[in-house]
Structure 1
């Protein structure tokens, strides 16, 4: 008698052993392992794309560590892709590992990806217009990176699933009670194998649901909610934990949970049918054909691991011809398939996709903990909080465990679940605060685990080159976001910078530039790195540009330059080529840049383009790049701006004037850098720019905000004396100037973050002019200029505002007295107060290790010691 015959009553009428599961459920995973151990089948059939059959042996590799995912993508359109994620606690992964360890054939039996990807392409765009790459609703796709809008066959989409949905169908063998899913938990956009994914997309019967008791074949339901409601539970997840996770198998019978589940799913499908959609029926027809083929080869010693919702359909007696008729004429597309790393975060709704589970880290703990899971979990939490310098003792752990158990008893639950443990952690370890609790949720409940795939797994050539570079540069992909500080003077760091910039140019956003905290030098770079699973799709997409990162980035840069619409786009691309060190692409980009610059007559466009070009020139010294051609183009661009700026500043409204003021600031900074770069065409760029600023500062047709800004820039550069600046301010603040224009001039001169507040603090004449003008504004006109003045002064630092207020309160006479007697700033004197300084000298010398204070006559000791400290 075979193992299946011994457990024959689990098959409900004989035939293959059908194990209906909840995807990503640790309880289902444990139950599947127990059932396979008891039945010992000769073949294991698993819901998933058949093209991946050749990849199953890789699961035995030492370097294969879940979470991982099967990735299928169209050969001619790599962005059209689909994922089938598998965690360590996924029943399908357990089935694969069991088959490999027992040397039993394992096969995937869902509809092939060649159909699901093509199906999504043909129908998805019409179903969900306007959605593109990364929508998570592609055919057969769990992440759906560009796999078309509208969930395809096998794409069990939606959070909370309907009939035909591998989401939330009630009772699964030992399945964990994650959020938003049932026994065949393909809820959410990244669920189980068979691409149980998509975010409620398309007319898939597995796409989203609401509980509905009506026996209507066209109504989408959440089977988990229906069964929980029948049991008297308001929360389907609590019901699932109580009846499955905390109960286990019925008296050691490994098959009993599957029998109960199949009966429940049979009743639901009899009541609700397939939800009125054809795609689930097509998938199930293909699966039935594969099960028949396996039975012809292995008789009834066949085990099938699939979403629980499909079990009644696979048990159904149908004619072979009828199943084949459903599959006739399906579209096809050539596909490639491989394993890629996955993350716990991508299994969680926190990531924005929704995999049917909110707590992959918690699920992994439940699956891996051999005993005492609550005690072990509280110990993990305590360890994390201690790493964050929170005081958590063993007593806290003991008390948290007791509280969780007490809460479970009070709530009538057999054992504490995630809700009880969370409440206990908040009360005992977090002192009622949700701030540290958010950290626990992020790091432990969700987690940042990143899987690994062996080097022997198939990959596009570009991925191979990227892996090689990552190993050489010791830059390992990680799921947890981290900051990377680079010193471009070091060879390894320069190589890392080149790689990250090249990947960004290819659209592979592994790293994002960040502001450097330690230095502002051009030899410093700071990056924020996080490897997301969908980046594997981006690598496959970028493979069309070349077989190496360098070649692909070069080809992509050239193509982007040819297709760029705006001059600023080309200048930005030139900057990125320099950062990525693409010498072969730079000549092409520069030629297109020169052509576009020669044809573009819009001063605003030229002003937008110049700063990026000049910034690029700064990288030559650090990166050893020849920027001579770039300097020449930048100088020519600057000359055209000098000529065109005065007429372009005439007769502008308020919004256009403010935008042009920003352009003036950007060009001013760019000219300052460009003037320091040696180039034949530069000449006296700074001098010519100052001449342009002088013209703008006195031309009446130029808006006040621009005139005020040009006066300030000339003053800061030493090209305008304080007397002349005061004269110009006096003219513009005279009674003959319109109030709005005068207020705009002040905004340009001392507004925002230009440091104008300190200028007013230290120059009493300018402050007096502003004060006199402001006090002379008529009451009926004051509200007209109030918004401009508020914008001007509200940007000052609080200390600057206080000082200005104090100076204004003192009045003109007292301000002059203060200026004459001292520094002009309240609280500051002209000279050193020796007595006060002597009081701090002992502490200063002690800190610096300089010994005792040497006293001199008449306070000279203070001066001498200050000189010593300074020395």
Structure 2
């Protein structure tokens, strides 16, 4: 007599042990373990792609830590892929581990991935033909379920829905077995029903096979009523499973255990002819596939991620599986620990009271034990004082969670992935599921290497890191990245493998291909900047040649002005990264010359939108010329000629009547800021524009260009009495019928000022033209910041802080001053020229 027969694992008619489960259900996982311990089968068959049989042994290695996923991708099209996620509380993972521990053969018996991926491609092609759009939702599989492989909620029905699948979905017709059974039991929430009948049921008590017999009977009734549940792919998958089950029975007899979605159990139990099953599989499309293990996260197991077999609370289910005794007390202790880390006052008394409340709520609601609903209500009432804000943190960090699994280094991987792993270990840059910010100092070799890696991965489309603005410094030696590793990035790495076997080689090849395929000049200049950031010396000559060719052919001044700033910004990286930017400077200088010649004609006869866009180009060129002149001067070339030519262009723009007012006003302002235009002349030009002969709309546009909020024009009006008087006089003289037309533009101009600037300007205007000068000059007038003369005592109080900012030491002596130097500069010796550059960069950040 076999073990299955002794322990009652089979039905009355005999046959294999069929363990129908809910994927990612801790109750099912515990029941599977108990049933396997009792039955002791000779082999275990598991729902999953057979290509992964060779990877099962890796699940027993010490470095393998769930959640993980089986990843299958098409060899010729790595972006077409499918995932089969497994958590510690997944019944399939428990079955795999049991088989390895007991040295029992384990096999996957679902439809092979070679058919699944090809099937999804055919459906995507049909969708493209029907809809006329090849783009599809990467988060939806061909069966309308999640990209992560796709098991149907409640039964684990689909395995391996590929990424990129599309087409008419049967998801709306798909039967949710849990919802049907919960409704029949009088529950309005399938999750609550599942907790009551499965998760809260003790393990190891009574008959270990009873839960599976009951579930099989329920699913049998559902299959009789609903057939395939609205999805004909199940019929093909179940035919393949039956063939694999027959093969296992021929080898091991009936001492076979099958772990699969409960929805499939009636179909596997049903006797069908072998010829019928083979006929269903005949002619299935194929595609060559590779398969490996990849890390996964609890967040990607959640239903909110779009995963077809997702669960609402993977973190909670993981806790239930790992803490079978006193789960409520342990859970609320975790919640208290999290809230304490966030500086909320939570004591042990809060935990005790929350446990009591959860148990009381469960008794009032007729539940055997407190579930997630009861514990959540208790946390909200006791620990969060009724607020949903800290409760949202608990849900995000604990109920869902960001646990990231690990896979052993011996797992198969594409060469590019192995090179990436090696670089990550060398740079001590470990992938993490939780989002974090990384500050880099490019003067340090390790940080410079991290920067190069992240920039190269961005070029390859592997968006592990996203650059963000640095808080501490505006210098080019600082970078800030926001990092977060998503499981899908493993697919992106596999896709990028077509460009090379190492990160450097792949990024170089990708940059060269992108340069040739770029449509516009701005794209090529942006690519040149990224090549410098990623330090790709072999790709830069190709990109620069394409850039020079495109610049020579492009006659659009707007395109040239849009391309110049990114090109000039790249020149700044030579000092910090040690990159030769000579060729870049030559191309940038040529672009600037063409802009100088073509800008005045391009600014004529523009409508309001085009004028505003061109004004932004003028601002960008102004900053680019300043940087380019500095770079030219540091490179041994004269910079005065470049600046003077640009100032000549601004003079032309400021006085030409055919140029829109917003551009003329900005040209006057830029000349005034550079000291190339006296205040008297600026006041004269403003007076001419604001004279009664100028249309109010054109005058308002000129003011927008001259003192627009983003240019610091408010401070200019604040300190120049004549300019403020001209604006005030013109504004009060605008006819009533024209005032409504110019009001939106004026509102946009002045609303961008800082609140303090607006308040002070309003105070000056309220005092009136005759009293402004006296109000500014009078001491104690009540106007903040003004006095009759310099107050020496207040000025002296600021000097120590200024000396510290400049690194000159404070009043406490050079020793104390040295201690107060910014930490990143005290860490290592900096060359005098570099130190002066750093001080200038920091002061630029302070003064805005």
Q: Same fold (TM over 0.5)?
A: yes
The answer to whether the 8 A contact 1:117-1:138 is kept is: no
Is the aligned partner of 1:657 residue 2:618? no
2:529 to 564, 575, 589: 575
DSSP-derived class of the 2:711 partner: coil
Matches within 5 A, 1:618-633: 618-633=572-587
1:351 to 305, 329, 351: 305
2:338 to 384, 387, 410: 384
Deviations, residues 394-414 of structure 1 (Å, cap 9, x unaligned): 001101111111111111211
Query: Partner of 2:171 in structure 1?
Result: 208
Query: Partner of 2:624 in structure 1?
Result: 670
Q: Distance in 2 between matches of 1:347 and 1:605?
A: 46
Query: Partner of 2:195 in structure 1?
Result: 241
Is the aligned partner of 1:696 residue 2:656? no
Matches within 5 A, 1:87-166: 87-127=87-127, 129=131, 130=133, 132=135, 135-138=138-141, 144=147, 155-156=150-151, 166=152
DSSP-derived class of the 1:391 partner: coil
Residues 134 and 97 (structure 1), Cα distance of their counterparts in 2 relative to 1, 3 Å cut: farther
Query: Partner of 2:514 in structure 1?
Result: 560
Query: Partner of 1:175 in structure 2?
Result: none
Is the aligned partner of 1:72 residue 2:72? yes
Residues 12 and 510 (structure 1), Cα distance of their counterparts in 2 relative to 1, 3 Å cut: farther
Query: Partner of 1:793 in structure 2?
Result: 750
Greater CA drift, 457-466 or 429-438: 429-438
Matches within 5 A, 1:337-348: 337-348=291-302
Report the alpha carbon displacement of residue 123 of structure 1 after superposing the two structures with TM.
1.8
Is the aligned partner of 1:809 residue 2:766? yes
Matches within 5 A, 1:36-55: 36-55=36-55
1:367 to 321, 326, 330: 321
Residues 839 and 789 (structure 1), Cα distance of their counterparts in 2 relative to 1, 3 Å cut: closer
Greater CA drift, 194-203 or 777-786: 194-203
Q: Distance in 1 between matches of 2:796 and 2:640?
A: 54
Q: Distance in 2 between matches of 1:672 and 1:424?
A: 62
Q: Distance in 2 between matches of 1:226 and 1:342?
A: 30
The answer to whether the 8 A contact 2:174-2:231 is kept is: no
Gaps of 5+ in 1: 146-153, 157-165, 168-181, 187-191, 210-218, 842-847, 852-871
Residues 424 and 276 (structure 1), Cα distance of their counterparts in 2 relative to 1, 3 Å cut: closer
Q: Distance in 1 between matches of 2:717 and 2:372?
A: 60
Greater CA drift, 227-236 or 669-678: 227-236
Greater CA drift, 674-683 or 353-362: 674-683
Deviations, residues 373-426 of structure 1 (Å, cap 9, x unaligned): 000001101111111111110001101111111111111211111111111111
The answer to whether the 8 A contact 1:155-1:198 is kept is: no
Q: Distance in 1 between matches of 2:767 and 2:308?
A: 63
Q: Distance in 1 between matches of 2:562 and 2:108?
A: 55
Residues 12 and 630 (structure 1), Cα distance of their counterparts in 2 relative to 1, 3 Å cut: farther
Q: Distance in 2 between matches of 1:622 and 1:629?
A: 17
Gaps of 5+ in 2: 800-809, 814-848
Report the alpha carbon displacement of residue 836 of structure 1 after superposing the two structures with TM.
9.2
Matches within 5 A, 1:326-345: 326-345=280-299
User: If each structure's helix is expressed as a fraction of its own residues, which one has the higher value?
Assistant: 2
Query: Partner of 1:647 in structure 2?
Result: 601
Report the alpha carbon displacement of residue 682 of structure 1 after superposing the two structures with TM.
6.3
Q: Distance in 2 between matches of 1:825 and 1:605?
A: 51
1:431 to 372, 375, 385: 385
Is the aligned partner of 1:709 residue 2:674? no
Query: Partner of 1:829 in structure 2?
Result: 787
Report the alpha carbon displacement of residue 681 of structure 1 after superposing the two structures with TM.
8.8
DSSP-derived class of the 2:631 partner: coil
Deviations, residues 12-71 of structure 1 (Å, cap 9, x unaligned): 532110111100111111111111001000000000000000000000100000000000
Greater CA drift, 667-676 or 277-286: 277-286
1:294 to 204, 224, 248: 248
Deviations, residues 65-95 of structure 1 (Å, cap 9, x unaligned): 0000000011111111110000000000000
DSSP-derived class of the 1:444 partner: helix
DSSP-derived class of the 2:20 partner: strand
Residues 645 and 390 (structure 1), Cα distance of their counterparts in 2 relative to 1, 3 Å cut: same
The answer to whether the 8 A contact 2:57-2:100 is kept is: yes
Report the alpha carbon displacement of residue 140 of structure 1 after superposing the two structures with TM.
8.7
The answer to whether the 8 A contact 2:82-2:117 is kept is: yes
DSSP-derived class of the 1:83 partner: strand
DSSP-derived class of the 1:8 partner: coil
* Number of residue equivalences: 796
Q: Distance in 2 between matches of 1:837 and 1:681?
A: 39
The answer to whether the 8 A contact 1:83-1:143 is kept is: no
The answer to whether the 8 A contact 1:403-1:424 is kept is: yes
Q: Distance in 2 between matches of 1:141 and 1:555?
A: 36
Query: Partner of 2:20 in structure 1?
Result: 20
The answer to whether the 8 A contact 1:385-1:392 is kept is: yes
Residues 143 and 458 (structure 1), Cα distance of their counterparts in 2 relative to 1, 3 Å cut: farther
